[in-house]
Structure 1
Amino acid sequence: MLAETLTHLRVGNQKFLTDFYQRSRLLFARWAQRQHKLPPAQAHELLQDTLLDFYDQVADGRLTIMPTDLRAHIYGMAQQRLAAGVPAQQPLPAAEASRRQRLLVLFNQLGADCQQVLTYFYFSGYNAQTLGAKMGYPNATVARRQKNSCLRKLYDLLTK
């Protein structure tokens, strides 16, 4: 499960982080209030920024193993962020912003079906069976092949 979560994060599926945020925001806000005297709105921003930092660490390969206690890891990252005085919603480094923008442009060059398949799989977190049903494919094998074909097209655009 943990390795699968990292894989999903590496390919851009942030559903896990969104769910974590929704489950943890109130508890995190209480912790931030007690430990750092932050009002709830600032605590929520801190959690969002920390989760984005976590995502960036996974996406660029700095984090290769999922922490066994993710909550403690995220809280520790937030504490480090506060101790270092990192400003809220710090913009992405130029190279990463450029990479993401280029990937988005290439993604938009794919056909509508490929965009839908990749969106369902990576952003909605659908498995091959659900993907096949949503797209009207006869079975999960066809859905997997279609997804792989779409990824290959995106990769080919990326390497041109």
Structure 2
Amino acid sequence: MARPRPTEFDKKKVVAENRRARFDYFIDEVFEAGIVLTGTEVKSLRFGEGSIAESYAEVKDDQVWLVNSNVPEFSHGNRFNHEPKRPRKLLLKERQIAKMHGAVAREGMTLVPLSIYFNGKGRAKVELALARGKKAHDKRETIKERDWKREQSRLLRQHG
């Protein structure tokens, strides 16, 4: 049975995307979270710099933190420049945090950031997913399905 598509958020400018996450994990639920940034971090992100390839989120003391995300130092920053790989606090509602905490603790799920983007109001947001890891045979099945869809579209284009 096909999984329902997650709701789309108002993404005006995508800064960083974790494309590997959709391959490595089954995405169950997607949340939009605000992110606490300093001024030079916002400037770096506006220039399109930043990476969330190896990052993850964790729940500590009823707060959610984005760990191991890389926002490089701002080139024109002075002594007030930020630390590139510091943990960043994510802004979510208490009910969402409780749901995430329960899923991670009881069901063995993982909090994976899918993308960092600026919304219509110019605020930096993180698309955060509750995900379950795929096994090797699940990944092979995903590759087969993707190749078949590619071949199917190729055949339809040829015989149109």
- Identify the structure with bigger relative contact order (alpha carbons < 8 Å, sequence gap 6+): 2
The normalised TM-score by structure 1 is 0.24
More helix by share: 1
Q: Normalising to structure 2: TM-score of the pair? A: 0.24
